Amino acid sequence: MNKDLKKILLTEEEIKKRVCELAQDIMNDFKDEELFFIGVLKGSVVFVADLMRCVKNDVTMDFMAVSSYGLSSQTSGVVRILKDLDFDIEGKNVIIVEDIIDTGTTLKYLYEYLKKRNPKVLKICCLLDKPERRKVDIKADYIGFTIPDEFVVGYGLDFAERFRNLPYIAVVKEEAYANK
């Protein structure tokens, strides 16, 4: 394991199992209806790809790039849309697929932004939830894991663009990011 990482929080096997359980929950809610996934770049890429492979419904997708972090480990609180959707979501069953809900600021902004486009249904699916850090009222409809207030990386999540390729979720040592 990398010297900047403290411990593995969630193993590759735990993640795979839970992602397929989330897919089953989504399929139970939507039966045979078509779904439109919106992956929030960059962190959700691995999660949305694995989730889509477990869902048996017809799924179309697009990505949005939204930023409030930059290269920092702390959110700036200012949300910017860096890449918008290429497709219309009006009348569609839309699921925002997010890697992690921390303060909730970015996701709440994105949810309100997309709600104005009149989807039939707008739900949120997140791999990780840190309710201790929440600063706004936002809740996911599908939650992979509720985790403690620790800085985590892996399975698409990064620290200054590093560690996205790890197949597990790991906790970063505080000294690795304290001065960043």
Q: Indicate if 86 belongs to the active site.
A: no
For the chain, list residues with pLDDT below 70: 68-77, 179-180
- Calpha distance 2→20 (Å, rounded): 28
| Residue 71, pLDDT score | 47
- In tens, the pLDDT along 48-70 reads 999 999 999 999 999 999 876 54
CB 64 within 8 A of CB 85: yes
Phi (first) and psi of residue 124, to 5 degrees: -125, 135
The candidate with the shortest Cα–Cα distance to 158, out of 149, 143, 169, 147, is 169
Fold of 5-27+35-68+77-176: Rossmann fold (3.40.50)
| Residue 74, pLDDT score | 54
| Residue 169, pLDDT score | 98
* Marked catalytic residue, from 25, 29, 50, 102: 102
